[in-house]
Homo-oligomer: A and B are copies of this chain.
Amino acid sequence: MARLVMKFGGTSVADLDRIRRVARHVKREVDAGHQVAVVVSAMAGETNRLVELCRDASPMHDAREYDSIVASGEQVSSGILAIVLQAMGVDARSWLGWQITLKTDDAHGAARIADIDSKKLLERLDMGQVAVIAGFQGIAPDDRIATLGRGGSDTSAVAIAAAIEAERCDIYTDVDGVYTTDPRIVPQARRLDKVSFEEMLEMASSGAKVLQVRSVELAHVYNVRTFVRSSFTAPDDPSILNADIPPGTLICSEDEIVEQQVVTGIAYAKDEAQISLRRVPDTPGIAAKIFGPLADANINVDMIVQIVSESGNETDITFSTPASDFERAIETLNKAGFDDVGGDKGLVKVSVIGVGMRSHAGVAATAFKALSQKGINIIAITTSEIKISILIDAAYTELAVRTLHSVYGLDAE
């Protein structure tokens, strides 16, 4: 017997037929003798409908009212799933954030989980009752409903799993796991059986959309084994019933991964921009003069490249930022007294990720050489212990991803 958290997203509970399929997935685990907490998103489309209603009511709406309105989506889906489970003979009840209680900070609209009281949940789980938990919501210090930001149900699920010390958190989604890269670009992409928390974190931060970044952070901190699997596989499919490990990707600690690859995956993030400041005086404190005002304006700066001019008195500085911040960044720099500011919006950041890089030299050189052979110009580079990120012209996205996927031996045979 194990204690499991099962999380189902909006497309998995889009209508009653799909909710019934979700219920059969839950029943399978209950019948296998497991204690089960289910975390659900709102029925697909519902959150968008409610967000739009708020916007139409007033573009500048109170985040506390927004939270109360939008959280109703999960209130409905959790209740309906509980009803469907009961109709199948499974003891179940719905739980709202304030009933658990799942406490958050006061950042309404994008709150962070502060504390989860697991006592009542554990009592019911011990009685064999399935807890159907409304994801994406909690209660703020002002006793009002708070939501965790889009995709927050992943975070709810991992946090609940940590709180009730679940053996595993199963994230049921519309893909059957985490791939070495986007299969729409590289048909030879392979599903990873296991990926470490650190790698998944870098992949999620670098554009892979399987999981919300914060949920991976939480999973890492609390060591929650998180299993990404398909909600569209039939609940009684032999690949689930008879396999030791059903199809999917386990996100876990490095120790659990025996055969570690040098490179695990290639991620990419579209809609990047670069901004260049030319001939700025190369004096101490110049970086602070540039990046201070940008930080104050909440503009995200990612890669920074500095090229000292031949004279040595001036320098060119280039940095990358999300395309959505491009205009605001230029405006901010102009206001800060920098006039010779230029840039470009159509860029993409391609990242090579793998914990094996720590012990292997030459990983970056392989990437640079392969891209250069394809005639792809590298605008900027950043590296971390387990990641190399390369900024290039977006036109080369597919070519670059395919080239890197192949050169690191990730293509399926």
Contacts and interface: CB of A to CB of B under 8 A. Distances in A.
Interface in A51-91: 53-54, 56-58, 60-62, 64-66, 68-69, 71-72, 75-76, 78-80, 82-84, 86-87
B62 A83 contact: yes
Interface of A, secondary structure class, is helix
Contacts of A230: none
Given A72-B72, A98-B98, A65 B82 contact: yes
A65 B86 CA distance: 10
Given A62-B82, A99-B143, A143-B99, A19 B68 contact: no
A144 B79 CA distance: 12
Given A19-B57, A80-B57, A68 B94 contact: yes
A122 interface: no
A93 interface: yes
A158 interface: no
Residue among A69, A144, A145 having the largest count of chain B Cβ atoms under 10 Å: A69
Given A84-B57, A98-B98, A69 B64 contact: no
A96 interface: yes
14 contacts: A53-B76, A53-B80, A54-B79, A57-B80, A57-B87, A61-B86, A61-B87, A62-B83, A62-B86, A66-B83, A68-B75, A68-B79, A69-B76, A69-B79
Interface of A: 16, 19, 50, 53-54, 56-58, 60-62, 64-66, 68-69, 71-72, 75-76, 78-80, 82-84, 86-87, 93-94, 96, 98-99, 143-145
